[in-house]
Structure 1
Amino acid sequence: MERRSFLKMSAAMGCAATVSGCNSSSSDVEVVPPTPPVGSDEKLNWSACLVNCGSNCPIKVFTKDGVITRIETDFETTDEYGVNHQVRACARGRSLKQRTYAPDRLKTPMKRVGKRGEGKFVPISWDEAASTIASELQRITESYGNKSIFTTYGSGAYYGFESRSNFHRLLNLNGGYLKYYGNYSWWQQTAAAKATWASGSTTGSSLLTLKDSDLFIGIGYNPSEMRQSGSGEGYDYLQALQANPELEVIMVDPRYTDSMAGKEDQWLAIRPGTDAAFAEGIAYEMISSGWVDANSKAFLDQFCIGFDKASLEQVVAEFEASGDAVKMGFAANIDPENNYKDYILGEGKFAGEAKTAARAAGICGISEANIKNVASKIMAASAPYIITGAGVNRHANGEQAMRACYMLPLLTGKVGQPGVTNGGLPAQSSLGRAGLPELTNPITEKISFYTWADAVERGETMTGRKDGVTGTADLDTPLGANIKAIFSINGNALINQHSDCNYSAKVLEDDTKAELVVVCDCWMTSTAKFADIILPDTSWLETNDLVNDSYASGNMGYLTAMSTSIEPLWECKSMFEICSMIADKMGLGEAFTEGKDQAAWLEELYQSTLTNPKNANAEPPLPATFVEAQQQGVFRSFDSTVRISLDSFVNGGEPLGTPSGKIEMYSIDWAQKAVEYELDGSILGHEIDPLPKYQITWDGYEDTATAADYPLQLMGYHTKGRTHSSYHNVPWLREAVEDAVWMNPSDAEARGLIQGEKVLVWNDRGTIELPVRVTPRVAPGVAALGQGAWYQPDPNRMGPSGHPIDIGGCINTLTRYLPTPVCKGNPQHTNRVQIAKA
């Protein structure tokens, strides 16, 4: 029997056993009754689950007398994949009734009365809240300038009209604000992709092309837990495997994920942060064997630069002869001796430093034989699909780790062919929708999403050369302002999702630094506890809106015209209403609303959506008005187009946007950044190199300075019970998906730990307390913890770190705040810890 057929049969039998409670008699099977029809006293509305999982799943909301009675998912259409199929929500979307009526819902505007962070507030009126924010914005603008006003990164809600854009519009009417660039999810891989092929990191071949593949290698790739939606990448991945049962699947990950669970042929348990060494060991086998010279050298010569010395010498000659001052400047920083082939083989300036499979095995924990075996399979494959997931990029110098992995598909010489990808995440499809215009922001400067705490403490002196500030006159012109006002809108990144929660808390506790913190949200999150003013937002189920399928819905695009049958709960207001009130207090009310209420704005934006060519094939066709669209609810369009990465370059001759116009195995831009950027050389691995190289980093596997005190590597991962920190406050999901630190049995036994008991996990930055899960599904020497649990320090209990014990179990209590070298991104998977019984 074919392997996947056996697994499917086994899974079906396992489900049957679960339903029957493992009883021996079929007559004892508990029959689940069919879903009752909508009663005459029950009303149905379409809404959506809008968290940052990449798929805004449509949700059916049933109400009676203005109260939610039940939530159902989409089953309105065919369940045949690829035929505008159903978009079924995961457990998170199905728990929206519990989340909407959660005890910690924010019910009224509040102002802080205790120390910032203590969570002590008193209710105030909407008039006082709007007046306070308006007057504080005026004071801070007059005293410090508009660059002192900042809105943090936040992804707790992917609304359409009722979004954070309302606050951006308001602040732009006030003269602008300091913006950020980048994101916590994949900013380092974005930088790596830009350096390599000058487009995004999500421009890999679509998963539909797996029908043409004969080998799949996923490095840190876990769509089944990341993208659970019936329209998501996880569903596309599962369908692709079922459509090509002969496809060989190799997964490389420190943790045995649900994306494996019998769907893989081989799991290679790798040490966190060593993916680049693994890739180099494979590259050595491909190059040293002569396979590259015989099979892919022509591709590398035609489409890439940096593989060997000759290609770089040619670029230098062309740039010097161009007469272009920018290119001539680039040429001055290119070192042809620093080429990929010599680096891998240990030749030229790298003599004696060959990156062999044996060397890689000692670093990454995957045996030499297995590394050589993977290399052999890649060389033998006619269409290898090699993909690197976002988990690899969230490490110290994750820019380099991503680039090193991107080299593998290039070395095959098959990029641009069906069944092959460039190493990036799969291309996605989406329908389009219009959003609220934010107007023009006159402030040109931006900081990394990750450096807001630095900008609170020393924004005046931050520069492009040291801190990655953009939009200034030159690399040495300072930003010129500290952040004094912070707006956190539908996000939990001020505390929970940012590195080193204890440090973030310390920065925010001092209200002489950031003088105003405004939080707009639905729940009392960890971030909300640090607000000066809290603004209670309406939840999705209380909102009329127009949303699309978001950014990672796979091949299925859809629009949801959201409607509601429940009034805003308590004193909650929508973001449009909130910002309209503040604008009125600032004398900007007419400019903000343009004389239109919510319904008029939604109709106007819907009319713009009607003309979007992405929506031409939506089924059913979009009706004439938004009100009619709300009656239908959902419009969908499956995109069956097979997209091949770098097709227009390899097969169409269109040059890339890199300095050379080619794929850059040696990044010309990074060669210049290595000269221009000022980095702290005392930090292990904190450096920029134009070649993709494995680098020993702080808190990495080879960091001997921290290994003695903290012998375990701690990696974070995304769980099925949360999207980042969203849904953490839903008891259903806390029961369904355990919050525990995973440990290999060998590591648990060495510490005398048993299943389920409470443990302390700590390092110099903090201590958390939570249960331990002993399982062989995580590699020895590695601990794994689902990210997103809410930070909850207990002031009455101090941990080994000298900080209060975080009984919430937030992984960011343990992560280090240190922006990465190239893009100033977040390294939150690079951690060392110790674990002991609590």
Structure 2
Amino acid sequence: MERRSFLKASAALSCVATVTGCNTSSDDANVIPPTPPVSDETITWSACLVNCGSNCPVKVFSSDGIITRVEADNETTDEYGVNHQIRACARGRSLRQRTYAADRLKTPMKRVGKRGEGKFVPISWDEAASTIASELQRIANEYSNKSILKIYGTGAYYGFSSSSCFNRVLNLNGGFLNIYGNYSWAQQTEAAAATGFSSTSGSNLLALNDSDLFIGLGYNPSEMRQSGSGEGYDFLNALQKNNGLEVIMIDPRYTDSMAGKEDNWFPIRPGTDAALCEGIAYEMISSGWVDNHSKNFLDKFCVGYDKESLINLKAEFEISEDPEKKAYIPYINPNDNYKDYILGEGTFISTGPKTPSWAAKICGISETHIKSIATKLMNARAPFIVAGAGINRHANGEQAMRSCYMLSFLTGKVGQPGVSNGALPSQGSLSRSGMSGLSNPIKESISCFTFPDAIERGHEMTTRKDGIRGTADLDTPLGADTKAIFAINSNALINQHSDSNGIAKILEDETKCELIVVCDCWMTSSAKFADILLPDTSWLESNDLVNDSYASGIMGYLVAMKAAIKPLWECKSMYDMCALIAEKMGKLGEYTEGKDEAGWLTELYEKTRTNSNNANAIPPLPSTYEEAQAQGVFRAFDGKTVVALEDYINGTDTLNTPSGKIEIFSLELAQKGTDWEFDSTVKGNYITSIPMYQATWEGYEDSETSEDYPFQLVGYHTKGRTHSSYHNVPWLREAVEDAVWMNPADAYKQGLTQGSKALIWSQRGTIELPVRVTPRVAPGVLALGQGAWYTPDPSGRVGPSGHIIDIGGCINTLTRYQPSPLAKGNPQHTNRVQIASA
């Protein structure tokens, strides 16, 4: 089948989530209540609020207080671009199974065994609220409010509950330590900001209609963004519409975003994207093409391409009366320019030119192919480049992202129709009003990824060494160790954090963190480490008002959720459970402001209804929240083409960088690279002012680990989970295999066959999984879907790493805890491992 014919067929089927391999004798059959007669069903609207970025609406059928079935949105005529259907994927359609899962938390509980053993006894809500309130006050008085931390968590994107409710309680207690960053985009956020834009400010996918070349580096929307309104559907329709578009995909794994839709797939070694980009840049610069085609663009809109631009910038700052600009003068070194680095000239003679031959030896893509990509890029009229977020989750993620962005700038065409800036595509969205979390008196914040350091040595953490924000200067210590953790809708405490075995050991010691409160719906791996467990209501038991979230594609929408059933067992909404805690603290009135949950929803709906952005985007919302709940879904497709940096290039906008321009030489990174302190024993642990390939610990070139751990292991997002959410749904475990992908040549050498059980281990742990032998992964690379639940073997079997084998197959049993240089973010795709038959 020709690619375009395939695309037409795919577009027609793209919203249909097909689940295969399920059988009616699944273990969940004895957990889910029997289905009542269909004739008695009531229909309500809810949403799948998992962190895939879409918040898809779902239609819920119930009878006599029991959910009978869940369907995806099938309203409207479903013509793409004309308010089409927002069909949920297999995850959203399995919400009945998830709601009635065997591991639902049914009552408040307190721990009676060792942390992590999962031994609890039921307690009353009164005891739970009293214990939390008294412990909060004790820890704040005995240590400080900076000893209280609400860790990063995105297990549910409620409209107003998850963040605001617990924030209100903690702030009414005097505040808590803030966090910044996230586990998805930490390094690309910093890389993009240092360059001059947002990491999600790329041209939207409608702009692809004007493009003639698409280059996706680690870009996988068909698996990441499955929603019927989402980025994957937008991408598919854009490819179908632009029949002349050439598609090049660069990824260690052959993903479903390819699957016949690409013209070329180039399998790349993990963590080497910057080397590839530098080989391409060398061809563009050394050939004279940049001088002849894009030098004027680089001179006018960028700083740092060559020595002259930095000499001019320094002179400009020296005569400026702006003290902030003058402060950067000592950090401007004209010799540290991008052109000299790529050509191996000036101060970079010792590092050598970044030729395609040099790049090929590192990234695994041949010299011929690198030159071919460069030629296509130079010949393209309107190249559209996207660097996916997977690139940023490496030990060298900040500079890898900046190196990918450089390809767009070297063309000199950014700001023109059909061209992007390398960032993730812009999204459409409708807004909704939320409840305030109240003001936090604590101004300091840590990277969300560094909470283990805050437990172990928070009192000595500083900006210079640890990236602390909000302190008086670079060397003022945070001054407090973390003594209380609130994990709200968060499996990042254990499962999604690096080195699960290592963090488990820290949390097991009750003399370090003295209180752990977990609020969730299910007994996750992290929930087992709680001192107090609070059972939340599921989405199908909740009234709420949610928007389309951060990555739902070009369609914007709102969902007025209505509870299909009453809260099961003793579960409470976060609003109500936090009200109980606030009451025990003597702060109930300040917490509720005289409103119950229904009163807040009525108020927030009215603010949303009268919001001018929404009023202009969709037909007027009904006058009452109850009327909105009856309709359920409100949608608006924004058909406007968005071109990245168009306003800046056309002179109607400015950039938020010290120079006000696109910074190839980043002044902020030059400053931090000089002033911050880094552990020099960690390979690749430094900040450079210009985009630069960094060889790192456990990267492809790390000879210290390659002999004992010859394979690079990279994680990816599966269609059967969003991060760790939905792992406990048997339907999805049957439909989407949890197995480690391995190239046939590697499997043959290791004596592994299709479906055989294998042990995969690193210096930090061992997991046990079946093998999927497939040419869809690069040689020398293992690929594993992230998010499986950490489960040390109850029998105590020890693996080659010397740790108890994780039979759950959690990739973070293997990953290293090592915050990245700039963002202090997670580098969880940088791993060296070994594999052998179990």
Whether TM-score is above 0.5 comes out as: yes
Alpha-carbon distance in 2 for matches of 1:660, 1:161: 38
Letter of the structure 1 residue corresponding to residue 244 of structure 2:
E
Alpha-carbon distance in 1 for matches of 2:538, 2:269: 41
How far off is 1:655 after superposition? 2.3
Partner of 2:234: 236
How far off is 1:682 after superposition? 1.3
1:178-217 equivalences under 5 Å are 178-197=177-196, 199-217=197-215
Partner of 2:318: 320
How far off is 1:246 after superposition? 1.0
DSSP-derived class of the 1:171 partner = helix
1:469-618 equivalences under 5 Å are 469-617=468-616
Q: 1:617·1:637 contact (CA, 8 Å) conserved in 2?
A: no
Partner of 1:256: 254
How far off is 1:12 after superposition? 8.8
DSSP-derived class of the 1:292 partner = helix
1:145-164 equivalences under 5 Å are 145-164=144-163
Q: 2:98·2:728 contact (CA, 8 Å) conserved in 1?
A: yes
Partner of 1:816: 816
Q: 1:164·1:575 contact (CA, 8 Å) conserved in 2?
A: no
Post-superposition Cα deviations, 1:233-255, rounded to whole Å, max 9, x if no partner, equal: 11100010011011000000000
1:14-33 equivalences under 5 Å are none
Q: 1:178·1:443 contact (CA, 8 Å) conserved in 2?
A: yes
How far off is 1:618 after superposition? 5.1
DSSP-derived class of the 2:334 partner = coil
Q: 2:8·2:240 contact (CA, 8 Å) conserved in 1?
A: no
Q: 1:164·1:490 contact (CA, 8 Å) conserved in 2?
A: no
Partner of 2:671: 672
How far off is 1:365 after superposition? 0.3
Partner of 1:408: 407
1:690 equivalenced with 2:675 (yes/no): no
Alpha-carbon distance in 2 for matches of 1:265, 1:834: 33
Q: 1:760·1:767 contact (CA, 8 Å) conserved in 2?
A: yes
Q: 2:129·2:580 contact (CA, 8 Å) conserved in 1?
A: yes
Q: 2:7·2:239 contact (CA, 8 Å) conserved in 1?
A: no
Partner of 1:28: none
Post-superposition Cα deviations, 1:520-546, rounded to whole Å, max 9, x if no partner, equal: 000000000000000000000000000
Partner of 2:26: none
1:302 equivalenced with 2:300 (yes/no): yes
Q: 2:202·2:423 contact (CA, 8 Å) conserved in 1?
A: yes
- Greater Cα shift, 433-442 or 778-787: 433-442
Residues 441, 9 of structure 1: CA spacing in aligned structure 2 closer, same or farther, 3 A cutoff?
closer
Partner of 2:31: none
Partner of 2:334: 336
Q: 2:85·2:228 contact (CA, 8 Å) conserved in 1?
A: yes
How far off is 1:6 after superposition? 4.9
Q: 2:762·2:814 contact (CA, 8 Å) conserved in 1?
A: yes
Partner of 1:25: none
Runs of 4+ in 1 over 4 A off after TM superposition: 6-16, 18-21, 36-40, 617-620
Alpha-carbon distance in 2 for matches of 1:148, 1:155: 22
Q: 1:117·1:509 contact (CA, 8 Å) conserved in 2?
A: yes
DSSP-derived class of the 1:770 partner = strand
Alpha-carbon distance in 2 for matches of 1:816, 1:722: 22
Alpha-carbon distance in 1 for matches of 2:14, 2:342: 47
Q: 1:739·1:770 contact (CA, 8 Å) conserved in 2?
A: yes
DSSP-derived class of the 1:60 partner = strand
Partner of 2:386: 387
1:751-762 equivalences under 5 Å are 751-762=750-761
Alpha-carbon distance in 2 for matches of 1:806, 1:85: 43
1:739-778 equivalences under 5 Å are 739-778=738-777
DSSP-derived class of the 1:103 partner = coil
- Greater Cα shift, 462-471 or 343-352: 343-352
How far off is 1:163 after superposition? 2.1
Alpha-carbon distance in 1 for matches of 2:178, 2:667: 28
Partner of 2:245: 247
How far off is 1:10 after superposition? 9.3
How far off is 1:200 after superposition? 1.4
How far off is 1:41 after superposition? 1.2
How far off is 1:652 after superposition? 2.6
Letter of the structure 1 residue corresponding to residue 647 of structure 2:
S
Alpha-carbon distance in 1 for matches of 2:427, 2:89: 19
DSSP-derived class of the 1:791 partner = coil
Partner of 2:805: 805
Q: 2:14·2:233 contact (CA, 8 Å) conserved in 1?
A: no
Partner of 1:266: 264
How far off is 1:610 after superposition? 1.0
Partner of 1:645: 644
Q: 2:147·2:483 contact (CA, 8 Å) conserved in 1?
A: yes
Residues 105, 341 of structure 1: CA spacing in aligned structure 2 closer, same or farther, 3 A cutoff?
same
Count matched residues.
822
How far off is 1:594 after superposition? 1.1
How far off is 1:590 after superposition? 0.9
Letter of the structure 1 residue corresponding to residue 694 of structure 2:
Q
How far off is 1:782 after superposition? 0.1
Letter of the structure 1 residue corresponding to residue 483 of structure 2:
K
Partner of 1:826: 826
How far off is 1:328 after superposition? 2.1
- Identity over aligned residues, as a percent? 71
Residues 20, 743 of structure 1: CA spacing in aligned structure 2 closer, same or farther, 3 A cutoff?
closer
Q: 1:195·1:669 contact (CA, 8 Å) conserved in 2?
A: yes
DSSP-derived class of the 1:607 partner = helix
Letter of the structure 2 residue corresponding to residue 208 of structure 1:
L
Post-superposition Cα deviations, 1:742-761, rounded to whole Å, max 9, x if no partner, equal: 00001100010010011000
How far off is 1:14 after superposition? 14
Q: 1:558·1:618 contact (CA, 8 Å) conserved in 2?
A: no
Alpha-carbon distance in 1 for matches of 2:758, 2:532: 36
Residues 19, 644 of structure 1: CA spacing in aligned structure 2 closer, same or farther, 3 A cutoff?
closer
Provide the aligned C-alpha RMSD in A.
Answer: 1.9
Q: 2:609·2:620 contact (CA, 8 Å) conserved in 1?
A: no
Partner of 1:26: none
Alpha-carbon distance in 1 for matches of 2:10, 2:489: 42
Alpha-carbon distance in 2 for matches of 1:19, 1:564: 26
TM-score, normalised with respect to structure 2:
0.96
1:26-45 equivalences under 5 Å are 40-45=39-44
Letter of the structure 2 residue corresponding to residue 491 of structure 1:
S
How far off is 1:612 after superposition? 1.5
Letter of the structure 2 residue corresponding to residue 735 of structure 1:
E
Alpha-carbon distance in 2 for matches of 1:161, 1:833: 42
Residues 13, 430 of structure 1: CA spacing in aligned structure 2 closer, same or farther, 3 A cutoff?
closer
DSSP-derived class of the 1:407 partner = helix
How far off is 1:329 after superposition? 2.4
How far off is 1:274 after superposition? 0.3
Alpha-carbon distance in 1 for matches of 2:147, 2:569: 33
Letter of the structure 1 residue corresponding to residue 800 of structure 2:
P
Partner of 1:5: 5
- Greater Cα shift, 580-589 or 789-798: 789-798
| Gap regions ≥5 residues in structure 2 | 22-34
Alpha-carbon distance in 2 for matches of 1:137, 1:37: 45
Alpha-carbon distance in 2 for matches of 1:686, 1:782: 23
Letter of the structure 2 residue corresponding to residue 459 of structure 1:
G
How far off is 1:653 after superposition? 4.1
Letter of the structure 1 residue corresponding to residue 642 of structure 2:
R
Partner of 2:55: 56
- Greater Cα shift, 112-121 or 156-165: 156-165
Partner of 2:635: 636
1:34-183 equivalences under 5 Å are 40-183=39-182
Alpha-carbon distance in 2 for matches of 1:155, 1:834: 31
Partner of 1:432: 431
How far off is 1:620 after superposition? 4.7
Partner of 1:704: 703
DSSP-derived class of the 1:329 partner = helix
Alpha-carbon distance in 2 for matches of 1:190, 1:391: 13
Q: 2:273·2:363 contact (CA, 8 Å) conserved in 1?
A: yes
How far off is 1:9 after superposition? 5.5
Alpha-carbon distance in 1 for matches of 2:245, 2:616: 32
